[in-house]
Structure 1
Amino acid sequence: MATLILLRHARSTANGSGTLAGRSPGVGLDDSGRAQAAGLAERLGALPVAEFVVSPLQRCAETVSEVAASRGLTPVVEPRLTEVDYGDWTGRAVKELTEESLWKVVQQHPSAAVFPGGEGLAQVQARAVAAVREHDARITEQHGPNALWVACSHGDVIKSIVADAVGTHLDAFQRIVVDPCSVSVVRYTEVRPFVVKVNDTGSDVSGLLPPAEESAKDGESGGAESDAVVGGSTGA
């Protein structure tokens, strides 16, 4: 299967204001975020990215616009990768929200958390995982098993996808850190995903392209790509 690079949008004006932006319109990148976005071309190096799939929100579009244009690609907008609908919490100061009784649920039992007037975190994970798996299968079919693609989304959305890929319950997803403009990398196979990177904020990721391998022999299910290396990886 293809390799998925999960990219959190670069630092936004809301990230530095202490408010929960959610799906509020007009939230773009701040100066630091624009610098982070400008550095993506160098970070991705010569990786042959097949597609950029993005949340419909402005901060994600701004994050990938330059790097996608430099590769002659038009980002595909995927509504299921949009930010959490925080409902009545949208636009409120985080320091106020920590006093809400629901805050403890969000932190300790997120699978049960439903934002007033919004959606539940379990719903977020379901829609996001379905979206990336569908796009991954489509891109694999169109571009081959060694294709790479980028999905640009939001912190909690990416954390929920990584939690699913690593096989941990959503109640543990708050243990995963996803900083602005970080990349986390997942490779899906027939029988399991492999989490290759989490919260990488600066290193060269050009080594992600897997080497061409022979197809699985007839009658074999899953093939070598679905098998973990016994004793651990020997490196690139």
Structure 2
Amino acid sequence: MATLILVRHGRSTANTAGVLAGRTPGVTLDERGAAQAAALPGRLAGVPLALAVSSPLQRCRETLEPLLAARPGLVLHTDERINECDYGHWSGRKLAELADEPLMEVVQHHPSAAAFPGGESMRAMQARAVDAVREWNERVEADHGDDAAYVMCSHGDIIKSLVADALGMHLDLFQRVHVDPCSVTAIRYTRTRPFLVRLGDTGDFGALAPREDTGGGAAEVGGGAGAP
């Protein structure tokens, strides 16, 4: 079956402001995010791509713009099912402020039980994203062959939940996965099982250097801003 190349959007203005953007309109790539997007065509230059799929949010569309410009024949599709998690009343709030919410402990340690006030549950988020990937895999395979690859630009929690599904991990473990802005994660699907062949690859090993942990080991809800 198909190989799915998942790209998290480049660093956004909300990432650098420490805000949980969710589906708040008007969130764009910041200067570094735009540079990350500009480098994406070179990073994927050796990969023939059958098509591209994007979350409807602006930061994802902006991330794919340089890739689409570099490959004029690459057709872009938009799929609401890979939209950012609907964080409801949490959207637009500072992550530092949300850290004190009782629900945050559930989000960190028992996300399958977490439902955002005025928004959706994390179980529903994963289910819709997995359904989307299954359908796109079938479509790509039918139209382009068993060995085809396609790119999908989405969001941190969406990508983490898809990785958890591919690895057969319970959603309660998905906070152990981390994907930086504009990182590339690749999953090769076969008839019997998926293979995770890249995870959160930015090509920047400087991001592995020791840095201060200000979150006490907590996962970055929404995906975070990446290395300084």
TM-score (norm 1): 0.85
Alpha-carbon offset, residue 45 of structure 1: 1.5
Give the number of aligned pairs.
203
1:216 alignment counterpart = none
Matched, 1:165 2:173: no
1:30 alignment counterpart = 30
Alpha-carbon offset, residue 57 of structure 1: 0.2
Report the structure number with the largest CA radius of gyration. 1
Alpha-carbon offset, residue 191 of structure 1: 1.6
**RMSD, aligned α-carbons:** 0.9
1:129 alignment counterpart = 130
2:48 alignment counterpart = 48
2:60 alignment counterpart = 60
Query: What pairs with 1:164-203 in structure 2 (closer than 5 Å)?
Result: 164-202=165-203
1:233 alignment counterpart = none
Superposition misfits of 4+ residues, deviation over 2 angstroms: none
| Identity score, percent | 59
Alpha-carbon offset, residue 89 of structure 1: 0.3
Q: Deviations over 1:206-234 (max 9, x none)?
A: xxxxxxxxxxxxxxxxxxxxxxxxxxxxx
Q: Residue 126 of structure 2: SS of its match in structure 1?
A: helix
Query: What pairs with 1:1-236 in structure 2 (closer than 5 Å)?
Result: 1-72=1-72, 73-202=74-203
Alpha-carbon offset, residue 192 of structure 1: 1.1
Counterpart CA distance in 1 for 2:18 and 2:40 is: 25
Q: Residue 104 of structure 2: SS of its match in structure 1?
A: helix
Counterpart CA distance in 2 for 1:133 and 1:189 is: 11
Alpha-carbon offset, residue 74 of structure 1: 3.1
TM-score (norm 2): 0.87
Unaligned runs of 5+ in 2: 205-228
